[in-house]
Amino acid sequence: MQPIAQYVGLDVSLEETKACVVDEAGRTLWRGCCASTPDEIERLVCKHAPNALRVGLETGMLSVWLFHELKKRRVPIICIDARHAKAALSLQINKTDANDAHGIAQVVRVGWYRQVLVKSMDTYAIRAMISARAQLV
């Protein structure tokens, strides 16, 4: 028997990340939260969505760091454009972080998202050095 495909939506804030796991038919399998650290998010995905095809999070303050750390841990993470996701999530009647996580899970399930290219950490380091140099000059 083939395992059921799962999709995870993450609504990340500084302290806490709300998560929702849905199956390929769109049924909610699990909702919950964890600390906004790569270790906790990886643990959550491994425990509640071991067959995850995509794990989606919106662009934001922690998205670059979380994206690269979760990629290292082999989590099938994608980063979606926050403005594009907002258009889909604005259709919800009750706007909460938990409902946003559910909406993100549904968006990555059906493929209605714009994936953002997350640059490497080396690129960010080079940009910081160039900016610092420009200020010194």
Q: What's 70's domain CATH number?
A: 3.30.420.140
Domain total of the chain: 1
Does residue 1 lie within any of the structural domains? no
Q: Give dist(CA 104, CA 59) in Å, integer.
A: 12
For the whole model, what pTM was predicted?
0.87
Contact predicate 96/77, CB 8 Å: no
Q: Is residue 17 part of a domain?
A: yes
125 found inside a domain: yes
Domain contains 107: yes
> Residue 66 in contact with residue 45, Cβ under 8 Å?
no
Residue 94 within any structural domain of the chain: yes
Q: Is residue 54 part of a domain?
A: yes
Structure tokens at 114: 């714009």
Distance CA 96, CA 92 (A): 9
Specify the pLDDT at position 137. 84
Distance CA 90, CA 99 (A): 11
d(CA 118, CA 63) in angstroms, rounded, equals 9
How do 28-35 and 52-58 pair as beta strands? unpaired
Residue 67 domain-assigned (yes or no): yes
HEC letters along 10-62: EEECCCEEEEEEEECCCCEEEEEEEECCHHHHHHHHHHHCCCEEEEEEECCCC
Which range marks the domain in which residue 63 is found? Answer: 6-136
Per cent of the chain over pLDDT 90 is 64
Q: What is the pLDDT of residues 43-96, one digit of tens each?
A: 999 999 999 999 999 999 999 999 999 999 999 999 999 887 777 777 777 788
Say yes or no to pLDDT of 2 above 80.
no
